[in-house]
Amino acid sequence: ELDDGLDEAFSRLAQSRTNP
Amino acid sequence: SGVGTLSGSYVAPKAIWLPAMKAKGLEISGTFTRQVGSISMDLQLTNKALQVMTDFAIQFNRNSFGLAPAAPLQVHAPLSPNQTVEISLPLNTVGSVMKMEPLNNLQVAVKNNIDVFYFSTLYPLHILFVEDGKMDRQMFLATWKDIPNENEAQFQIRDCPLNAEAVSSRLQSSNIFTVAKRNVEGQDMLYQSLKLTNGIWVLAELRIQPGNPSFTHLQLSLKCRAPEVSQHVYQAYETILKN
């Protein structure tokens, strides 16, 4: 699967929202 | 409570919109539905007068989303005293627009051979959630970042009788789409999008905290360029998830 960086971006978003 | 439909969003039970005593014997109850892209107003007309009713017609006042009848009100035969008829009136969203207070207020006029009657009702916003409301992931991330924090509204949905999987599929049947899902410190985080018939996008983060075995607590964060719709979108989430 081509890693378009979006998976990682969503992980960072979720992480930042949980631990701002 | 109401019923879910096979291929559509939640439908509330019919409520009385016009009591007979305010309309010379005509009682109207109704609800709104959205099924595979078609919106309708499902009506029940009852004649509680002593005379036959004929010549029905319906008109909407201008409203926030341009809702309008897509066809005339078809009552095929005169309505005799004590008779009830069920009618599904197809609606579209290409009528005149005027911002209402509250936003989902709809003013309706119904006429028959006796008189013209007026009533107001509130429609659930999810009848306006379109089928192509799943935002592309890249666009979601960019839009989420772009919408200012002051446009974010947060709501709690307590005691939801569904787990994360069921939440996602229940919402999808009402055209609220999960774009991405993450688990952080034991909480499921769903990133979701929906689009209204007038093209307004709403982005959501739904944080699902496991409660006791059969209930979850949800925290809903909504981001939208038209933040006045957020309250009504939250009410749609509540309705869809608790019925």
CA B224, distance to chain mean position in Å, is: 18
Nearest-Cα distance to chain B for A1, in Å, is 16
> Does residue B126 surpass a pLDDT of 90?
yes
Q: Which residues of chain A from 1 to 20 reach within 8 Å of chain B, CB to CB?
A: 4, 6, 9-11, 13-15, 17-18
Tell me the per-residue pLDDT of B146-191, one tens digit each, with 9 for 90 and over: 999 999 999 999 989 888 889 999 999 999 999 999 999 989 999 9
Smallest CA–CA distance, residue A20 to chain B, in Å, is 13
Tell me the C-alpha to C-alpha distance, in Å, between residue B46 and each of B15, B16, B82.
13, 11, 7
Q: From start to end of chain B, where are the E strands?
A: 15-18, 26-35, 38-47, 57-60, 68-69, 84-92, 105-111, 116-122, 152-160, 177-184, 187-195, 201-210, 216-224
Contact at 8 Å (CB) between B188 and B181? yes
B227 and B203 in contact (C-beta within 8 Å)? no
**Comparison of pLDDT for A2 and B179, the residue scoring more:** B179
pLDDT of residue B213: 72
Average pLDDT (B97-107) is 98
Confidence of residue B34 (pLDDT cuts 50, 70, 90): very high
B220-234 pLDDT tens trace: 999 999 999 999 999
Higher pLDDT, B26 or B215: B26
Could you tell me the strand order of the sheet in which B216-224 lies?
Answer: B152-160, B216-224, B201-210, B187-195, B177-184
Please give the angle made by the CA atoms of B166, B129 and B31, to the nearest 5 degrees.
90
Would you call A13 and B138 a contact, using CB atoms and an 8 Å cutoff?
Answer: no
ipTM of model over 0.90: no
Cβ distance B182 to A10 less than 8 Å, yes or no, reads yes
Which of A3, A4, A10, A12 best tests the B interface by mutation, with the highest count of B CBs <10 A? A10
- Residue in B137, B138, B184 nearest the CB of A14: B184
- B44 CB-near residues (< 8 Å, 6+ apart): B14, B28, B29, B30, B84, B85, B86, B87
The CA distance from B81 to B36, in Å, is 36
Query: Model confidence at B212, in pLDDT bands (50, 70, 90)?
Result: confident
Confidence of residue B7 (pLDDT cuts 50, 70, 90): low
Residues of A in contact with B180 (CB under 8 A): 6, 10
